Amino acid sequence: MSMPGEGRCSVTVVIKALNEEKNIGAAIESALAAVEPVNGEVVLADSCSTDRTVELASRYPVRIVQLANADERCCGAGPQLGFQHARGEYIYILDGDMRMALGFLEHALSFLAQHPEAGGVGGRLVELNTQALEYRERAARNHAHMQPGEVDRLDGGGLYRRMAIEEAGFLSDRNLHSYEEFDLGVRLRSLGWKLWRLPVTAVMHYGHDAPAYALLKRRWQTKYVCGLGELLRGAIGRPHFKLVVRGLRELWIYGGVLAWWLLLLSVMFWPLAAGARVATFAALAGAPLALMALRKRSIGRAMHSIASWCFNAAGLVHGLLRRRVPPTSTIASVVLKEPPHSIEPRRRQRIA
């Protein structure tokens, strides 16, 4: 089968990683196997790992690039860093704890060749961590954008046209600590591009083994929960703002949590006796937990949902207030390794 880009670098798989020494070998090996039939390359975009991620990756014929400043670590910086050093006409984003499925890139390239209106295409994401509460809840929600067909985002990775990315201005917003795939999706769709998910397995994902509440704590510490607020701030006044507001159900959930907090705070000013105020406060505070327990038929799952909403609601406010840098500005980086027989880049990138 003749592939787009035959005779030059067709596909770049960008692996974004931070401290993935347990998984990076398998991720790279799967990516190298996936790009071999389509004349591709693999770029590891490392966010200043402090473990053996880079050391282990250096054993493979891949380009390794790293943030020059560890303070710039975030989910949006990794893909954009990789894109700066990518040679391919098509770009695939892969997490360091994922493995690519053989054959997906051929299906994706064929689909893009037949559908010039498609800016990106994804496939089925197989979650292998079926024990952690976080991933069980995610699977239970059965999001529409994870089903085959036209979708509004490519969570879990996708193959994008370089032409579409360049028209959108950048691959991922370097300010975002999450929601980077949704942000790219709404920016592309606001320009008329379409996104599709094929009924073909694209990647296997291992996820974090941390207990549910430890994961929430980690997401606060890494500012992952700030992503929604950062996304909103970056979209204000832009053509894709309406798509952001319409496309995120959780925005309304977290907004409702903020309203609930304000209601609880207002109780102390109600013209009631002290005992009545305490009883009213307790009733209002416990109502969401009771409703969720009935819905999920589990107090434990209900408590985790409420705790997650509270973390993310606080993160929403934090993200809205965070300072931004221009997302089109070049991310300062260092090239740690070039693969043997590396081809010349399609266009040279200025590295700060």
Tell me: the pLDDT tens digits for 213-247? 888 899 999 999 999 999 999 999 999 999 999 99
Q: Which structure tokens are listed for 248?
A: 């995120």
- Residue 211's pLDDT band, with cuts at 50, 70 and 90, is confident
| CA–CA dist 282, 179 (Å, integer) | 34
Q: What percent of the chain has pLDDT over 90?
A: 81
Amino acid (one-letter) located at 220 = W
Do 51 and 18 meet the contact criterion of CB atoms below 8 Å apart? Answer: no
Instruction: Give this prediction's pTM.
Output: 0.88
**What class has domain 11-209+327-337?**
alpha beta
Compute the distance between CA of residue 271 and CA of residue 30 in angstroms, rounded to an integer.
Answer: 65
pLDDT at site 191: 97
Rounded Cα distance, 176 and 210, in Å = 23
Average pLDDT over residues 32-51: 97
Residue 14 contacts residue 94 (beta carbons within 8 Å): yes
What's the pLDDT score for residue 208?
64
Expressed in percent and rounded to 5, the helix, strand and coil fractions of the chain are 50, 15, 35
pLDDT one-digit tens code per residue, 127-155 = 886 665 555 555 555 588 889 999 999 99
Region 11-23: mean pLDDT is 96
Say if residue 110's pLDDT is above 70: yes
Q: Over the chain, what is the mean pLDDT?
A: 90
Compare 61 and 142 and report the one with higher pLDDT: 61
pLDDT at 131: 61
Tens-digit pLDDT profile for residues 267-284: 999 999 999 999 999 999
pLDDT at 335 over 80: yes
CA distance 245 to 235: 9
Q: Is the pLDDT of residue 5 over 50?
A: no
User: What is the per-residue pLDDT for 75?
Assistant: 94
Angle between helices 227-235 and 249-266 (to 10 degrees): 110
Q: How confident is the model at residue 212 (pLDDT cuts 50, 70, 90)?
A: confident
Closest CA to 3 of 70, 103, 122, 99: 103
Give residue 123's pLDDT: 97
CB atoms within 10 A of CB 135: 19
| Model pLDDT, residue 261 | 96
CA distance 41 to 109: 15
State the Cα–Cα distance between residues 177 and 222, nearest whole angstrom: 8
In this predicted structure, what is the pLDDT of residue 348? 36
Assess whether pLDDT exceeds 80 at residue 165: yes
Given a cut of 50, is residue 251 above it in pLDDT?
A: yes
First to last CA, the chain: 40
pLDDT in tens, 284-306: 999 999 999 999 899 988 999 99
Closest CA to 231 of 30, 27, 75, 343: 75
Position 81 confidence tier, pLDDT thresholds 50, 70, 90? very high
Residue 24 has pLDDT above 70, yes or no: yes
Q: For the segment 185-199, what is each residue's pLDDT rounded down to a tens digit? A: 999 999 999 999 999
Q: Where are the domains of the chain?
A: 11-209+327-337, 211-321
Residue 117 · residue 129 · CB < 8 Å: no
The residues with which 203 forms a beta bridge, in sequence order, are 100, 125
Select the more confidently predicted residue: 347 or 21.
Answer: 21
